[in-house]
Structure 1
Amino acid sequence: MTASERRHCGHDELIADVVTRFDAYVRARSARDGIFGSSHADPRQEQRVFDDLQRAMVRLRGSVR
């Protein structure tokens, strides 16, 4: 595997991580607005998944430079 192929593979993993964390954030936001009381997300949980998403995006941006 060449260095370029290894970087590409790493980018794929970072992109997948961002997509996964974005999905978690969307689910947390949806739970906040849900009609069932038991499905409501705690504001701290929503902030935590948002922070996780931000960190994943920073890692992806850092890998491009």
Structure 2
Amino acid sequence: MRMRRILSLALAAATLAGVSAVGAVSAGAASSPNISRDDCTAAGGQIVSRPYAGEACALPDGTTQAIT
């Protein structure tokens, strides 16, 4: 009985960790999409150069997105 409880807790923790990792990856991908130079200027953004990271689009709402 005790072993079954320990195994079920370990399985629940592993499942929760897996769901958290998938959620974090999805959120990261959704929050930082790439944008083209034309789309950036059309949205009212400015092209900025980042040292060692290439160019990015600085949008009026304060967010930056990598340029493809």
TM-score by length of 2: 0.47
Report which structure shows greater RCO (CA 8 Å, sep ≥6). 1
Structure having the larger proportion of residues in strand: 2
Structure having the larger proportion of residues in helix: 1
Whose Rg is larger?
2
TM-score by length of 1: 0.49
